[in-house]
Structure 1
Amino acid sequence: MVTDRGHRFGVDRAALLLDAFEGSDRLTLKQLVRRTGLPRSSAHRMLDRLVQLRWLHREDGYYELGTRLLELGSLALHQSRVHRAALPSLHELHRVTGLVVHLAVLDGSDVVYLDKLGRGLAAHLPSRIGWRQPAVRTSVGKAMLADLPPDELDRILAVERSRRTRAVPLDVRRVQTELARVRDRGVAIDHGETIRGFGCVGTPVGATGSVIAAVSVCGPIPEVQADYLLAGPLRSAAHGIWRRYQDRGPGIAPGPRPSGSVTA
C-alpha cells in the first residue's frame, strides 16, 4: 500500500526533475542525476513515468519538457485574471511606444513574466513567458518592490543578498535609495542591468499597498533614456489594467489573443 508520505515523496522527486530543466532545453539522464542528486535508478524510473504522462519527451537520449506541461502552462496563463485584464493595455502600449512590452508579477524575490509583446525588436531580447529574474535587477521588479512593507522588503533583500557572491555583493543601501526614488516618481529604471545594451522603464499596476503586477517597455538604451516621455503611456496602461482587473474581476472572459503580437 502506498502511503500519503510515499505520494508526497514521489511528487517531490518529480518536481525536482522538472525544476532541473530551468535554463536548459534538453538534458541527458546523467545530467539530470547530477543536477538533482537522485539515484540513477530512481531518476530513470521516474523519468519513464513522466514520459508516459507527456510531462516529458524523450528523443535520442535527451529529455525535454513535454506537451502536457505546455498545455497546462497555456491554460494557467489564459486563466490568469491579471493577464486577461492586461491584454488590451499591453497592445495599446506597444502601439504607442513601438517598444517591447512586458507584464510581470512578483514571486518571492523574483519576477515572473506573464507576457511579452513586440515585433522585430523582441527577437533581440531573451525574455519570454515564464522567464524568471531577480526582482532587484529589473524595472518591473523594482516597481513592485517599492510597494512592499519594510519588513517584507527586508526579507526579500536578505534572500537576494544570500544569492550574491562576495565578488558582486548586493548594495542594500543603493537598492533602498533607488526604491525610494521609484515611490516618488512612479516609474522604475533598468539601464542594462538585466540585458546588456537594453533599458527598460516599468511602473506598478494597482493602488499603493495593493500592487498586483508591473508593466514595462524595453528597447535599446538610447531609446529609453528619456524615461519621462514614457511615464505617461506606462501609467495609462497600468491604470487601464487595474480598472479592468477591478471592474470585471474573476468574470473576465478569456478571448483569442489579438493578432500582430509576438510572444517569446
Structure 2
Amino acid sequence: MTSPRHPGPDVTTVLGKTVLVLRAFTPEDRGVRLIELGRRTGLPKGTLHRLCGDLVATGLLERHDDRYRLGRLMFELGMRASVERDLLEVAMPYLQELRAAVDETVHLGVREGAEVVYVAKVVGHRQVTAPSRAGGRLGLHCTAVGKALLAHAPPEVVENVIADGLQRRAPRTLTAPGLLMAQLQQVRETGVAFEFEESTVGLVCVGAPVFGPDDDVVAAVSVAGPVTRFNPRLHATRVGSTAQRISATLIRQELSRS
C-alpha cells in the first residue's frame, strides 16, 4: 500500500467528481473506455457519461471512438502551473550533456509523497527497457533516483515509506527496512545512490541529489542502463558532478532574483 498523493476529492460536488475522473488516467493510458473509467472512479454510468461529455467540450479530455484520454488543455495548463518548470529549464542542458557523455538513459525526478515523479527522461541512442517515463511514478525505495531523494527526505517520510511496506517490484527489490536504512546512510555519506535490478530485472542505475538554495533536496539525477553493458559505479562521479552543477545553477538563479 502506498501513501495517498493528495487528499481525496469531495465526490459530492461537481468539482470533486471532475478531479476524480482526471486523476483516474495513468501515464500508460492511450485511451480508456467509459466502463473502465467507471470501475476506476466508482461513479454511476450516467453521471460519468455527462461529466466526460462536458470535459471533452472544454478540452480537458479528448474522445476517439469509444475511448477517452487527457486533452491538450491539460498539458497546457500543467506547463503553466508546474513548479518544476524552472527546474527543468535549468537542468535540461546538463541532462543532455550527461546523456551525450554516457549514451544511456538519463532521468530527472522529484519526490511527491512516497513516490518519484519523473520530470524528464532523456533517452540515449542505445535503447533500454525501463519502467520510467516522463510524468510517471515509481516507489522511492527501488530506484537510484528515489533513494537519492529519500536519503535527504524528512524522517517522517522515510518512516511512512517503511510503514506502507516496501513493495517488491523485482527479485532484488529491497524489502527489508534495515537494508534500506543502511543504503540511505551510504547515500548521505557518498552523495550517490545505486540500483541493481531492483525496479526491473536487467536494469542498473546510479543517481545523485540536486540541492536548492535552502540546502533542501529538490530533485535527483540518474543514469540507467542494462546490466550487460552499464556499470553504474564507473559513472558515479560524473552523475554526482552533473547534480552539483544543476544545484549551483539553481542557487545562482535564486540569488539573482533576491
CA distance in 2 between partners of 1:122 and 1:114 (Å): 19
Structure 2 CA distance for partners of 1:60 and 1:123, relative to 1, 3 Å: farther
Aligned counterpart, 1:255 = none
TM-score by length of 1: 0.82
Of 203, 225, 236, the match for 1:219? 225
Aligned counterpart, 1:235 = 240
Contact 1:94 1:101 in 2 (8 A): yes
Structure 2 CA distance for partners of 1:169 and 1:237, relative to 1, 3 Å: closer
What amino acid sits opposite 1:56 in the alignment? L
What amino acid sits opposite 1:12 in the alignment? G
CA distance in 2 between partners of 1:211 and 1:6 (Å): 32
Of 118, 128, 135, the match for 2:140? 135
What amino acid sits opposite 1:217 in the alignment? V
CA shift, 1:9, in A, is 1.7
CA distance in 2 between partners of 1:77 and 1:92 (Å): 24
Name the SS of the counterpart of 2:100 in structure 1: helix
CA distance in 1 between partners of 2:77 and 2:128 (Å): 25
Aligned counterpart, 1:257 = none
CA distance in 2 between partners of 1:41 and 1:83 (Å): 41
Is 1:157–2:162 an aligned residue pair?
A: yes
Is 1:12–2:16 an aligned residue pair?
A: yes
Structure 2 CA distance for partners of 1:149 and 1:79, relative to 1, 3 Å: closer
In angstroms, what is the RMSD of aligned CA positions? 2.8
Question: Which runs of structure 2 are paired with 1:97-246 in the superposition (5 Å)?
Answer: 97-122=102-127, 124-161=129-166, 170-206=175-211, 210-227=216-233, 229-246=234-251
**C-alpha distance after superposition, 1:19-59 (max 9, x if no partner):** 21114221111111111111111111110110001111112
Structure 2 CA distance for partners of 1:67 and 1:123, relative to 1, 3 Å: farther
CA distance in 1 between partners of 2:255 and 2:123 (Å): 27
Name the SS of the counterpart of 1:203 in structure 2: strand
Contact 1:136 1:142 in 2 (8 A): yes
The 4+ residue runs of structure 1 with deviation greater than 6 A are 5-8
TM-score by length of 2: 0.84
CA distance in 2 between partners of 1:59 and 1:250 (Å): 48
CA distance in 2 between partners of 1:149 and 1:34 (Å): 35
State the percentage of identical aligned residues: 34
CA shift, 1:77, in A, is 5.4
Aligned counterpart, 2:5 = none
CA distance in 2 between partners of 1:8 and 1:121 (Å): 49
Of 222, 246, 252, the match for 1:247? 252
Name the SS of the counterpart of 1:57 in structure 2: strand
Structure number with the higher helix fraction is 1
CA distance in 2 between partners of 1:139 and 1:186 (Å): 11
Contact 1:139 1:200 in 2 (8 A): yes
What amino acid sits opposite 2:164 in the alignment? V
CA distance in 2 between partners of 1:79 and 1:188 (Å): 22
